[in-house]
Amino acid sequence: MSAVQDQLEIKFRLPDGSDIGPKSFPAATTVATLKESIIAQWPKEKENGPRTVKDVKLISAGKILENNRTLGECRSPLCDIPGGVTTMHVVVQPPAFEKEKKVPNESKQNKCVCVIL
């Protein structure tokens, strides 16, 4: 019976309001593994899907979960409801290299060309 209690039912709420899951995960599963699962199950028809684990942030009970922590360590009191499904919110952030490419272009476009006489 303890093996059943060590399993957590989790569904992932995507930015557009749709869900992936619910799916059962052991309490020893790391947050990075959850993110890999999200990337693998990401609907192909959706734009701007994550490419790597670094593109995804998971939020549970109002806290951003760290990649190296396990589900057991991140467990909130709401997860302890028997038969309950925990919803984690997925935030997809653009890769850092795209941000770096956009910043120089924006700074060039926003330069002031005013001349004070």
- Domain-embedded: residue 69: yes
Domain region containing 39: 2-109
pTM of the model: 0.70
- Domain-embedded: residue 114: no
Query: Which residues fall within 8 angstroms of residue 105, CB to CB, at 6 or more apart?
Result: none
- Domain-embedded: residue 92: yes
Question: Which carries the bigger pLDDT value, residue 73 or residue 95?
Answer: 73
Query: Where residue 98 sits, what CATH number does that domain have?
Result: 3.10.20.90
- Domain-embedded: residue 117: no
Q: Among residues 106, 90, 8, 103, which one has the least CA distance to residue 41?
A: 90
Helix (H) or strand (E) holding 103: helix 96-109
Q: What DSSP string describes 2-65?
A: HHHHTEEEEEEE-TTS-EEEEEEEETT-BHHHHHHHHHHHS-TTSSS---SGGGEEEEETTEEP
Q: Is the pLDDT of residue 36 over 90?
A: yes
Q: What's the pLDDT score for residue 108? A: 55
Number of domain units in the chain: 1
- Domain-embedded: residue 80: yes
